[in-house]
Structure 1
Amino acid sequence: MHESTMVRHNRVFDDASSGTPNDSNVLFGRRPECARIDQLLAEPLTGASAALVITGDPGIGKTSLLRYARDGARTLKVLSVSGVEAETMFPFAALGRLLTPVLDRLGSLPAVQADALRCALTLSAERPRDRFAVCAAAFQLLATTAERSPTLVLVDDAQWLDVSTAEALAFTARRLRAEGLVLLIATRDAGGFADIEQLNIGALDEDSAAELLTARFAAAPAEEVVRALTAELGGNPLALHEVSGTLTRAELTGTDPLRAPFSAENAASRIFGPRISALDRASLHALRITAVAAGDGLEVVLAALAAKPGDCAALESLENKGLVAVEVADVHFVHPLLRTAVLTNLTPGQLRALHRTVASVMTAPSQAERRAWHLAEAALGPDEAAARALEQAADHALRRSGYAGAALALERAAELSRDGPSKARRFCAAANAAHSAGQLDTALRLLRKSEEYTVDPVLHADIADMRGRIELHTGRASVARMVWQAGAVAVSEVDPARAASLRATAAIGALAAGDPAGACALAREAAHSASPADGNTQLLSKTVIGNALTLMGQESDGMRWMREAAASTRKPAAGEPDIEWVLVGALSGVTWYGEEIDPRGFLDPLLHQLRRSGALGHLPLALHVAALADSRRGRLQSGRSAAAEAAELAAGIGDVFTLCPALGCLALLEAQVGDEQSCRAHAAESLRQREVTRLGVMHHVALEGLGLLELSLNRPDRAIPYLEEVNRGPEPDVRDPMVVRVSSLDLIEAYVRVGADISATMRDQLGGFAGLTLPPALSALIWRAMALVAGDGDYDEFFSRALAFHARCPSPFDAARTRLCYGERLRRAGRRRDAREHLRCSLDGFERIGARLWAARAATELTAAGQPAKARSGSVADALTAQELEVAQLAANGGTNREIATQLFLSVKTIEMHLGRVYRKVGVRSRTQLANSFRDSVKDCV
């Protein structure tokens, strides 16, 4: 940490400094900022948590505010770290320094998380499967620390954090709830912390600048001098403090005019230039070595200086002159601007020579990663030795899940490679690492570079596979299809199995792009050419064929293929399946509403495995699929919990591809249970995220939820616009066929309820569907819709057929809706006794699954039919938020607080907070009472 508005105090605030205040440590013009920090420092003492990102230009006072926080945290445990510009390419470098004081508590973490963190910090050779496992482990370690003592975490110069550390800290900030922990992050711009509360630090005004200058010189400067300095230095307190030190008293008082124009940009040379120029040759060399070896440690600096007699003594001279600070294991500049000034004055040749000198003394295996980067900086033109060293450094980073750092090393290795094939291979490997790090734009850029040098068809297929996935995930389905097809053509002669796999994925792209005929052709070709043992390719092919045939009006054949695909998801091929595509198959099976196969039978073991292994990267999508399955089968409360967790985890790890549909599914479930406010909020956020992802298909479930909500509120006129938009689609290449099918049946109900005419085309389509062999649940909905538009002589038969199909599959929500529609029709026909039977069953069904608004509608209809009724006040689950419900269910099933925290990637304190709220809302005092309450009230709802 370095920036300061402190008077007569320019001491570096780093990991080891005590931060002891003195009378001269005064902040000028920062009263509101200090007040906000004071508020945050009070949070941990009450068990609360908070995170704040302090942004502003260099020298604006961010470090001073962190020092103010440390000085005020007298009752808190303080952990601190500063980003180092020279370490941005080293994975978890800053995280290791931050957590070193509390690593003795690693044993209190779940084994998977502890192993992940040990691996990331090079404390073991284990490799975590998912980069977010390290994020979860870092969060849990900090939360565990705060359990023992309220904790303040200070992070300065976050713009220089390595990407892996920044990601872990952002994850921690997003998960904070009730740990008793405050996280303050100072950085020049928010970057990856943009969704966390911001405090931007602006320039000092003239009055504050005058106070600073007066305190510095114990004399009041002239007003015109203050005005000129404040304007020219942009109100930057560090520049004011340091540059004013170069003024004479006559200049300060206005007796003499100010010399050459000042600026914040040339502050480094104005402040430190004369001091650097005054150094002797040995001291200057020592200063340059220290600048180049920043972060490498005192041992490396001394070894590099030992090559020249007397240079080690020069380091001590630099310390005596107040230019560097020497500690037990490190040496650093008293101010980063000094390092900037030193490096700026070096010629490229001088800089390469210095890096070469430093690299030559780094011979220990533990120094290989840093040595590789020094070799790279020392290279003039292609250098295969440096490239190999960087490749080895990248491999070490990958073994620790440091994907972003590995991408940087591999990209530089590719640039230093002598031949085209090596460049192509290394650029592709860099893209793969960037993709694993979630850096999709970077991965695309690197893939394009790899393509420039690629002559190997297998490598071309690798590039096409990865690029196609990125294009699809970012909403460019047509481009993804073309990329995958080209990759299949390139590799067809040398690797037919790989070509088949690429054609299957190209079929997904074609389907998403609105070309079902092309998708079907590609999928059939892939299925024909792939080996029967190639489970993933066969799964994808069958899934696409089923979807495509149904889109083209061949529902019976389509459902046959879908049944085969759904069965494949239950029995994945031997070996390590491609989990992303397996989930696609499961999701497709769920989407084709009403299939007898319940995807939960496949998903529950998968969810357990993902949680146990800490694989947060895949968990949001798996939870979303589970939530959608629950929604379709009437398990509304468990579905709501799964969807809420999917959305929260997706937001926490930056998975916008899953966040949009997860929010839409959550809105749909909230429409079913009758939580109007939450439904509208989550639907709106899902629609906003759809614009971010550019995946039009993602918005349909949210709109379906809004339409369903309006129907539950008995406002069919307001439901129609939402449901019409779902069926119309924003453009032809982004329609989800089954959402359209189900919502079209809801749309028919809305039309009937407002007295609108049903088009002849829609009636013909319904009649055609009725003759097809479809899943029971879907057939039930079709017969219900036919009953709604039928004449007086037919609706009894059609409703009876719908109920018969409902009896063949578990879909309590839709069965209750059918009973409601039937009862309403009977009541309007004057058959009140018959109506009451169905309305009573409808009310009971809605109440059992916790569909409050629908239950209220059924109660109103039942009363109108002559049997006074009122919907029950609700179940235990109705009063709980989605996360409270999930915590309550796990606790009722016997989970301890720590077990629940591990499963949900939350802290023990947060679980305690949620359980406290659950106890108050449910009216219980113990887990036993909670379990009994859930057994009595919730089991039918989940």
Structure 2
Amino acid sequence: MFTGRKKHLDVLLSSLTQAQSGSGQVALVTGCLASGKSALLQQFSEKADSSGAIVFNATGSRTERDLPMGVVWQLLHSTPIPSKVIRRFSRFSRAETAGRSEEDSPSGGLRRGEVLALNSLFSSLLILARSRPAVIIVDDLHFADNASLQALLFLRHRLRSSRVLVVLSSWDRPGYVGPAVQMELMRQAHHRIRLGRLSTEEITELVLDAGHRDPSSAADLAAGLGVLSGGNPLLVRALLDDSPLGVDEGPGPAGRPVAGEAFQRAVLDCLHRWDPALMEVARGLAVLDDHAAPELIARLLPMQPDTVPQLLAVLEKAGLLHQGRLGSPEIAAVVRGTLSGEETTRLYSRAAELLYEHGAMARDVARRLLRADTVPGPWALRALRQAAEQTLAENDVDSAVRGLELGLRECGQGPEALKFRAALVRVAWRVNPSAAARHISPLYDALNLGQLSARDAAPLIRHLLWQGDRATATRLLWSITSSPEAGRTAGLAELRIAHEWIYGAPCEPPAAEPTAPSDRSRARRPAAGPQPRGSATLSTLWRQGMSEALLNGVEHILQGRLGDTIPEAGAMALLVLHHSGHRKRAEYWHGVLSAEAARLDAPTWQAVLASVGADMAMRRGDLARAAALARDALSRLHAQSWGAAIGFPLSTLILAETAMGRYEEASKLLDLVVPEAVFDTVAGLQYLYARGHYNLAVDRVLAAAGDFERCGALMREWDVDFPALVPWRSSLAQANLRLGRSRETAELIAQQLDLLGPSEYARTRGVSLRVLAAASPLKERCALLQEAALLLEQSEDRLELARTLNDISQVYQTLGDLGRARLVARRATQEAKACNTDVVTPLQALRVPKHVIRSQSEPPAHQTDGLVALSEAERKVATLAAYGHTNREIGRKLYITVSTVEQHLTRVYRKLNVRQRTDLPSELTRYASDIRP
């Protein structure tokens, strides 16, 4: 026994000593719920028995409190006493009490026969006590029948010079007033012992008694036990019983308390032991939780308002309640586990209604509705929608989805269902955009019928943008832009940013679209309708240059709360900063947003930010980081969720793998099937650009030229022909260099430099000058390359800088300046290693010798004959194949099936005597004018 309880046992033993000396005693033990009264009395009973005393034991019972003399009869049968004493008491007592109820004597007095019986009984007891001290122990006195209480009081008046000790125990319940005879009996006690909750020091003693050897870790464990149990002795011992030493093998020197089956039984024992109403109040506490005010508990159960505070006080004294709440989540879980399915629905739905009436937060109402799994009325639907917004702000996406799905299930198919579907689509964009697909069709139909608000239409339009349905998305966006509520819908401006991020151009009214690419002018009229914040878009940067207003718009987006901004707007803001030369600022914000997206566990944000980070790393020449971030972006969202936007991370990854010389990896990526809609987006332009560079790296020059030309044609058609977006001209110029077309190369670079303006975009200008140098006379080459190197160093693109330095080294070597050539080559090697690549072959080395050019222009005789033998259909298929188009792309362009394409190619290979499309002769390019590749 630990020290805290031993002192109470000593008091009882001292009382027994006094009784043995002939001074009768009455000791009273009181305590809160499950405070260890019975355990103390049991220990004392054993001690008293071992000391030679004759011990009588009885326990009051709720079910027997109407049985007259029930406790007295327990005392008589608890220990061997002379049978004649029992017979004498039985003869008088039963005769008097037969047919008598407690109501027969409201005053609680004894009848004459009972008095005679008790006189006989206690006279015999006092005679026994002369030879051996007598100890009468009555546990749970508050449940004793009234006649037994009168008998004990009768005995109390005759104890003064006897060798009898009476030990009683009763609960210490706030506000409790028992029968008058019980109060009188307790008032006349000689010794009072009050048992309370265990202190941390007392719990530490119990831990050490249980076998824990380290006092320091025992104290740590005791603190945890105290928090979990509230210091209730029964719960503490149950926790110690649940596992060896009451700890698991978790982290920390002392481990953690384990709340297992023993703990659960102990909690239920506490709540069932005294008053059935205690369990009801505990259930009310578990259901209402943080809102468990006494008046709400009373209305929930229902129960008399003045009763609830008394029961709460009992629970608090017992350690099951702390600051008006159940003491620990484990206790609350045990209590909730006692609810049946019907009780759960009833209590939680009623609790939700009460909280709604009292103006509680919608999320708190929704949590009860989710537990109840029902929607009691229209008010609950409103609460569920409001709660979804609140829980999303708190990053509780799961609760938001479950609440919205519950509302959708219960609200039928009317306007309310559309609101829930729109909200579910908004939530899906945060974690899994493809999950929105099942709600799109009903929303689309409702929008066409004019049944959808601008706010609810926004997520639908965003879905269409990502899936590549530009025409429908644009029409719908302009439809809601012209609605009266458009000015109150903040998401419309960001939708326009999303449109521009995916398609590269501002969203304009469908009617304003020109019918032919030649009708487009470089300065398109501004789009009407709500403008994005500060017009923080790339097209604004490319058309107007960097301005204070643009920079303010970017900062406004980046400084907002992550949950209040769509990822596309954040991506656009980062790219504007990076493209305008504010690279350090862009990287800082990228880190801030990435950390916040990780904290909120927002997969869509994380995926988009990883894709943008990959693009920024690629433009710095950090190939390893670009590849890692691009792969991370692809892993965050399923391909179906990416939709047409998958081309953004995929094209960056292809470029990075190609630049590092990992051609096999790049080839595998190009084998992946991408949606057709990709090629209607900026991501498609970047994909063509990346595929073109892969083809160039593996000597598929014609295929590379075809990709770059197709990219350029689309950019001109869409009026987004900005070299900073995709510098297709310098890339096509590199392919022309491989084919020996220096004049075409110079023309392309001149056009690109003209589009860049006098001083913008150092990186793109540096790449352009490098390619121009390769097509220029030797005496001009060095100056162009040195200017390119300065620009690339300024833009911090180490990969293009390494390539340019390699070209300079080649020029010096050609001029015979070997020392300078080696010096520059060493610098180029260092830069290349920093980029995780050694593939920095100079452009001059890539120029095809004249005899090769001649052989390409003059194919072998058997190939010349074969070209003549090709039919018109075979020649078209062969030409497109030489430009690197896939069989599916060829079929789509020529309006034939893939099977027909394969048949044509088989005959082409046989006629030209080649094995694969990479062996197709360059002479086929003469037929390119017949087909737009």
* TM-score normalised by structure 2 residue count: 0.51
The aligned residue for residue 784 of structure 2 is 838
CA contact under 8 A between 2:493 and 2:530: conserved in structure 1? no
The aligned residue for residue 469 of structure 2 is 515
Q: Do structure 1's residue 482 and structure 2's residue 441 form an aligned pair?
A: yes
Aligned-partner residue type, residue 361 of structure 2: A
Aligned-partner residue type, residue 739 of structure 1: A
Q: In structure 2, which of residues 676, 691, 700 is the aligned counterpart of residue 732 of structure 1?
A: 676
Query: Closer, same or farther in 2 for the Cα pair 1:762/1:733, shift >3 Å?
Result: closer
The gaps in structure 2 that reach 5 residues or longer are 1-33, 36-197, 231-236, 250-257, 813-819, 835-933
Q: In the TM superposition, what is the alpha-carbon distance from 1:651 to its structure 2 partner?
A: 0.9
Q: Do structure 1's residue 752 and structure 2's residue 707 form an aligned pair?
A: no
CA separation in 1, counterparts of 2:277 and 2:428? 55
Query: Closer, same or farther in 2 for the Cα pair 1:664/1:833, shift >3 Å?
Result: same
Q: Do structure 1's residue 397 and structure 2's residue 361 form an aligned pair?
A: yes
Q: In the TM superposition, what is the alpha-carbon distance from 1:865 to its structure 2 partner?
A: 0.9
Q: In the TM superposition, what is the alpha-carbon distance from 1:655 to its structure 2 partner?
A: 1.9
Per-residue CA deviations over 1:557-587 (Å, capped at 9, x if unaligned) read: 699799879866xx946xxxxxxxx47x968
The aligned residue for residue 324 of structure 1 is 319
Q: In structure 2, which of residues 647, 666, 678 is the aligned counterpart of residue 700 of structure 1?
A: 647
CA contact under 8 A between 2:782 and 2:811: conserved in structure 1? yes
CA separation in 2, counterparts of 1:717 and 1:767? 24
Q: In the TM superposition, what is the alpha-carbon distance from 1:843 to its structure 2 partner?
A: 0.9
CA separation in 2, counterparts of 1:692 and 1:26? 58
Aligned-partner residue type, residue 574 of structure 2: A
Query: Closer, same or farther in 2 for the Cα pair 1:556/1:26, shift >3 Å?
Result: farther
Q: In the TM superposition, what is the alpha-carbon distance from 1:661 to its structure 2 partner?
A: 1.5
Q: Do structure 1's residue 656 and structure 2's residue 606 form an aligned pair?
A: no
Query: Closer, same or farther in 2 for the Cα pair 1:29/1:745, shift >3 Å?
Result: farther
CA separation in 1, counterparts of 2:360 and 2:494? 35
Q: In the TM superposition, what is the alpha-carbon distance from 1:762 to its structure 2 partner?
A: 3.9
Following superposition of structure 1 onto structure 2, how do residues 188-199 of structure 1 map, counting pairs within 5 Å? Answer: none
Per-residue CA deviations over 1:635-673 (Å, capped at 9, x if unaligned) read: 433332232222222112222111112112212222222
Query: Closer, same or farther in 2 for the Cα pair 1:412/1:777, shift >3 Å?
Result: same
SS of structure 1 residue aligned to 2:683: helix
* TM-score normalised by structure 1 residue count: 0.50
Q: In the TM superposition, what is the alpha-carbon distance from 1:388 to its structure 2 partner?
A: 5.2
Per-residue CA deviations over 1:67-98 (Å, capped at 9, x if unaligned) read: 59x9xxxxxxxxxx9899xxxxxxxxxxxxxx
CA separation in 1, counterparts of 2:473 and 2:442? 14
Following superposition of structure 1 onto structure 2, how do residues 228-627 of structure 1 map, counting pairs within 5 Å? Answer: 237=246, 266-268=261-263, 270-271=265-266, 278-279=273-274, 323-324=318-319, 330=324, 378=347, 389-392=354-357, 396-397=360-361, 404-405=363-364, 407-408=366-367, 415=374, 417-418=376-377, 421-422=378-379, 424-440=381-397, 442-451=399-408, 454=411, 459-473=416-430, 474-476=432-434, 478-479=437-438, 481-492=440-451, 498=453, 506-520=460-474, 522-523=476-477, 540=495, 572=530, 582=532, 589-590=537-538, 595-597=542-544, 604-606=551-553, 608-609=555-556, 617-618=564-565, 622-627=569-574
Q: In the TM superposition, what is the alpha-carbon distance from 1:839 to its structure 2 partner?
A: 1.3
Per-residue CA deviations over 1:882-918 (Å, capped at 9, x if unaligned) read: xxxxxxxxxxxxxxxxxxxxxxxxxxxxxxxxxxxxx
The aligned residue for residue 800 of structure 1 is 750
Query: Closer, same or farther in 2 for the Cα pair 1:566/1:447, shift >3 Å?
Result: farther
Per-residue CA deviations over 1:229-274 (Å, capped at 9, x if unaligned) read: 99x978794699xxxxxxxxxxxxxxxxxxxxxx986424654566
Q: In the TM superposition, what is the alpha-carbon distance from 1:417 to its structure 2 partner?
A: 3.0
Q: In structure 1, which of residues 662, 679, 690 is the aligned counterpart of residue 637 of structure 2?
A: 690
CA contact under 8 A between 1:624 and 1:646: conserved in structure 2? no
Query: Closer, same or farther in 2 for the Cα pair 1:483/1:872, shift >3 Å?
Result: farther
SS of structure 1 residue aligned to 2:468: coil
SS of structure 2 residue aligned to 1:810: coil
SS of structure 1 residue aligned to 2:727: helix
Per-residue CA deviations over 1:509-539 (Å, capped at 9, x if unaligned) read: 3332233454455456556777997887588
Q: In the TM superposition, what is the alpha-carbon distance from 1:738 to its structure 2 partner?
A: 1.0
CA separation in 1, counterparts of 2:316 and 2:709? 89
Equivalenced residues, count: 599
Q: CA RMSD in A?
A: 6.1
Q: Do structure 1's residue 642 and structure 2's residue 589 form an aligned pair?
A: yes
Query: Closer, same or farther in 2 for the Cα pair 1:65/1:662, shift >3 Å?
Result: farther
Q: In the TM superposition, what is the alpha-carbon distance from 1:811 to its structure 2 partner?
A: 1.9
Q: In the TM superposition, what is the alpha-carbon distance from 1:768 to its structure 2 partner?
A: 3.9
Q: In the TM superposition, what is the alpha-carbon distance from 1:864 to its structure 2 partner?
A: 1.3
CA contact under 8 A between 2:401 and 2:427: conserved in structure 1? yes
Query: Closer, same or farther in 2 for the Cα pair 1:719/1:847, shift >3 Å?
Result: farther
Per-residue CA deviations over 1:573-621 (Å, capped at 9, x if unaligned) read: 6xxxxxxxx47x968x43x697324588566434655677766653976
CA separation in 2, counterparts of 1:613 and 1:543? 17
CA separation in 2, counterparts of 1:626 and 1:864? 40
Per-residue CA deviations over 1:754-775 (Å, capped at 9, x if unaligned) read: 4223238547636745865544
The aligned residue for residue 821 of structure 1 is 771
SS of structure 2 residue aligned to 1:324: coil
CA separation in 1, counterparts of 2:423 and 2:787? 52
CA contact under 8 A between 1:444 and 1:467: conserved in structure 2? yes
CA separation in 2, counterparts of 1:269 and 1:586? 61
CA separation in 2, counterparts of 1:611 and 1:533? 22
CA separation in 2, counterparts of 1:778 and 1:316? 73
Query: Closer, same or farther in 2 for the Cα pair 1:525/1:735, shift >3 Å?
Result: same
Query: Closer, same or farther in 2 for the Cα pair 1:489/1:62, shift >3 Å?
Result: farther
Q: In the TM superposition, what is the alpha-carbon distance from 1:795 to its structure 2 partner?
A: 1.5
Query: Closer, same or farther in 2 for the Cα pair 1:506/1:821, shift >3 Å?
Result: same
The aligned residue for residue 851 of structure 1 is 797
Aligned-partner residue type, residue 751 of structure 2: R
Query: Closer, same or farther in 2 for the Cα pair 1:807/1:870, shift >3 Å?
Result: farther
SS of structure 2 residue aligned to 1:730: coil
The percent identity for this pair of structures is 15
Per-residue CA deviations over 1:899-940 (Å, capped at 9, x if unaligned) read: xxxxxxxxxxxxxxxxxxxxxxxxxxxxxxxxxxxxxxxxxx
Following superposition of structure 1 onto structure 2, how do residues 840-879 of structure 1 map, counting pairs within 5 Å? Answer: 840-866=786-812, 868=821, 870=824
Q: In the TM superposition, what is the alpha-carbon distance from 1:845 to its structure 2 partner?
A: 0.9
The gaps in structure 1 that reach 5 residues or longer are 1-9, 36-60, 71-80, 85-215, 218-228, 241-262, 353-375, 399-403, 574-581, 881-942
SS of structure 1 residue aligned to 2:743: coil
Aligned-partner residue type, residue 740 of structure 1: G
CA separation in 1, counterparts of 2:546 and 2:683? 18
Aligned-partner residue type, residue 468 of structure 1: V
CA contact under 8 A between 1:458 and 1:491: conserved in structure 2? no
Query: Closer, same or farther in 2 for the Cα pair 1:873/1:865, shift >3 Å?
Result: closer
Query: Closer, same or farther in 2 for the Cα pair 1:674/1:690, shift >3 Å?
Result: same
Q: In the TM superposition, what is the alpha-carbon distance from 1:863 to its structure 2 partner?
A: 1.4
